[in-house]
Structure 1
């Protein structure tokens, strides 16, 4: 499979329009996956003294991006501009609708994070944009601000960006995973049971490993915004209790993303680790690899259905910590790239996936870069991926990973499959077919 798709992908590799090279390697495409910025809690527990009315920023209410979160993405946008516009001269100096596509999950905080980020990339009053060409020269319009389209799909069906989309099969796999010896031993341990019992008593609701994150997440954010009063208004809160609860939740997140100490973790004939990584991180990893395969396959072709990808330089996913977590877990680099082990990717964390073509050996390579949080730079993490020994790695390594954890059916169908009827048969990767169909069928107008 890999050799066949490599032949197609490497056909006529010369002639990519790019202005950045590193030695013999030419940058041809960038994909970015980022987490939204700082926000209010998405929900909380009944006894919490900080209910929804306490959160007034960003329009008010649960899960809204704060001004701090907007600034975090403004800063990241400026960093992306510095890297790809100023230093690499790869992205255009001003917004070009054909060269960037931005997809966000359908919630305010990710959409506004994308807007804030794009403001940093292309909305500054630096002379790069022209009044009455890129924005209206009228009183009241911020000088230099260029609005850029942010696309989205219904959140319940967004299996790429929203790890909580409606997917009964994913829930069945998680319920099965909870019956494994490893998860049961962890859940039933004295440490975990004691903490769940304490929190049940304190919070006014029954707390288990499935809703523990609500408490730890709310307390995390409240320490940012109400640290001067949280210990007086919430008398049971202590730093030690929070740290213990958070550590337990970190381990739960590993399990929920298919990372177990004992791998494979087989229950009733199903490897719940592989199934989990397929259903969570599999869709977005395969989407990214599909874009790169199509970029390579369409090079040198002038058919209308290849025009969009030939022009496109930057594909953006504005999403969540859980999205990045699932993506890393699919590549088995969660512990390498997310610090501390088991913790969530932080606000404005971003993964940059760069596609290169080497003019010497005519082979495609990828480079993976991570931005951990606001204030940190870009760190190359390619070598954390098994099979990658340098900052530039053979694209076939990523193709193999994507084939291994590719959903066994189109994800919107697989989500409604019945695990009890799932045979676990191996599936031949559909990447080659996807590339061929992409070139033959004009469905890319959707982008």
Structure 2
């Protein structure tokens, strides 16, 4: 028995040892960032006249916005698919990560909401928590009755939800709200809102539910109806004679366009207060996440190929970084890359367990950095390489310079926690800062 235990521990340790680099010709995989949406959930809220209020939703602990067993299974399934793509086992595509969990190789970050935290746990269960994956009882999990065989707990890190400007696109950010209010005053948004097709749809919905909606809250109704069609379809249609597939598709189309406007996607450049409103909206929505990724990639590159290894210990072993988040988080990446029109058709937003993977590759011949963009559309799908859809890219691999230029363009003018507090144009802010510095310098001179 002792011999078997020693053998099991030694074998498990071997699985954590350095594995050969993953290569595709002259390209070598160095790091993966993946952003996914949580799985199926209950509505986060609904309209007042809805038959299905909070007490109608009992799964996942009950109440609004909780992950369902279906949602848990969707991420279990995605975790298994990610294992087959990245983990070192016989069915792997890349043999990139060790077959047994090694804490140095991966970091999982979730927004501070139940459904994203449990989605991350479910995903890790599929990726590293199954019996037969090579983990050893007594080393990787308790060898005790009652503990699920093969289940390896993996830490899920999080931050305060309201101040999470990287994962939560609805974090507390006065600047984002200020920009959105400006956008709604633009001719393009006003003309769209006042068009016959849109105004009639909104007016019709208002008369049905006896409730008015701001554009930013309009999503509540189609979101609730989408979920109710999954769980209460017969009752939904029987108790709401106004509900039809045609009307539902109409309100979804309205909501999809609102979504696009909120992310700065306009038919024409919208300039207000000497600002490109679309670009400014992207700076506060997509900018923090895109720059978080590119900064980590650059650190990985510098630490791998620089003679100065000071402060690099944490990044040298890191290969896999996860953002467990929301449809808007995935959307933020797709919009930043300009591929949302390819990735989410026919739907206007990423579906449950949608995932976008940004793979960092190094060319071993020219020693330059490249990336590959891979998309998982929904549960049950595989992975589609979409790099060539990005402007400036062709083929499966694209120069990292393209990704850096995108991140640089969308980088907030200050750290995002400070930039979110600025509710004026960049030019006005610069003038204000210059004036304040002038006043400070003058006062300092006078009182010397």
Q: Same fold (TM over 0.5)?
A: yes
Q: Is the 8 A contact 2:19 2:98 kept in 1?
A: no
- Equivalent in 32, 48, 51 of residue 49 of structure 1: 51
Equivalent of 2:293 in 288, 293, 309: 288
110 and 279 in structure 1: CA distance in 2 versus 1, 3 angstrom threshold: same
- Residue 250, structure 1, aligned to residue 259, structure 2: no
Q: CA deviation at 1:55?
A: 0.5
Q: Deviations over 1:358-405 (max 9, x none)?
A: 111111110010000011100001011110011100000100111111
1:82 to 78, 81, 84: 84
Residue from 104, 107, 114 that aligns with 1:108: 114
Show the counterpart of 1:181. 187
| Conserved 8 A contact 1:278-1:330 | no
Structure 1 residue 424: deviation in Å? 7.6
The match for 2:166 among 141, 153, 160 is: 160
- What does residue 444 of structure 2 align with? none
Change beyond 3 A, Cα 1:311–1:403: same
Aligned equivalents of 1:103, 1:129: Cα separation in 2: 23
Partner of 2:196: 190
* RMSD value, Cα: 1.6
Contact 1:195/1:245 (8 A) holds in 2: yes
* Distance of 1:261 and 1:365 partners within structure 2: 31
SS in structure 1 of the partner of residue 323 of structure 2: strand
Tell me if 1:29 matches 2:35: no
- Equivalent residue of 2:234, what SS? coil
Report the 3-state secondary structure (helix = DSSP H, G, I; strand = E; otherwise coil) of the residue aligned with 2:167. Answer: coil
Aligned to 1:229: 235
Query: Secondary structure of 1:87's partner?
Result: coil
Tell me the secondary structure at the aligned position of residue 212 of structure 2. coil
Deviation at 1:270, TM superposition (A): 1.4
Asked if the contact 1:282–1:327 (Cα under 8 Å) also holds between the matched residues in 2, the reply is no
CA distance in 2, matches of 1:305, 1:152: 23
1:241 match: secondary structure: helix
State the distance in 2 between where 1:329 and 1:212 align. Answer: 21
TM-score, length basis structure 1: 0.89
Residue 93, structure 1, aligned to residue 95, structure 2: no
The answer to whether the 8 Å contact 1:18/1:26 transfers is: no
Match in the other structure for 1:375: 380
C-alpha separation in 2, matches of 1:163 and 1:354 = 23
Question: Which stretch has the larger CA shift, 147-156 or 224-233?
Answer: 224-233
Task: Select the residue among 201, 206, 217 that pairs with 1:211.
Answer: 217
The whole-number CA distance in structure 2 between the counterparts of 1:133 and 1:280 is: 42
Residue in 1 aligned with 2:361? 356
Residues 336, 127 of structure 1: CA spacing in aligned structure 2 closer, same or farther, 3 A cutoff? closer
Aligned: 1:392 with 2:397: yes
For residue 132 of structure 2, give the secondary structure of its aligned residue in structure 1.
Answer: coil
**Pairing partner for 1:414 from 399, 413, 419:** 419
Residue 147 (structure 2) pairs with residue 141 (structure 1): yes
The unaligned stretches of length 5 or more in structure 2 are: 1-17, 431-448
In the superposition, relative to structure 1, how do residues 136 and 304 fare at CA in structure 2: closer, same or farther (>3 Å)?
Answer: farther
Provide TM-score, normalisation by structure 2. Answer: 0.89
SS at match of 1:157: coil
**1:196–1:208 CA contact under 8 A, matched in 2:** no
Q: 1:353 to 1:420 in 2, by over 3 A?
A: closer
* Residue 278 of structure 1, aligned match among 264, 276, 283: 283
Q: CA deviation at 1:303?
A: 4.3
Residues 160-180 of structure 1 deviation map (CA, whole Å, 9 limit, x = unaligned): 010110000000000001111
Shift, 1:421, TM fit = 6.8
Q: Judging changes above 3 Å, is the alpha-carbon distance between structure 1 residues 159 and 226 closer, same or farther for their aligned structure 2 residues?
A: same
Deviates most, 265-274 or 294-303:
294-303
Corresponding residue of 2:407? 402
- 3-state SS of paired residue (2:190): helix
The yes-or-no answer on 1:199 pairing with 2:205 is yes
3-state SS in 2 of match to 1:155: coil
Counterpart of 1:308 in structure 2 is 314
Q: Corresponding residue for 1:441?
A: none
Give the structure 2 partner of residue 5 of structure 1: none
Alpha carbons of structure 1 residues 309 and 250: separation in structure 2 relative to 1, 3 Å: same
Between structure 1 and structure 2, the one with the greater Rg is: 2
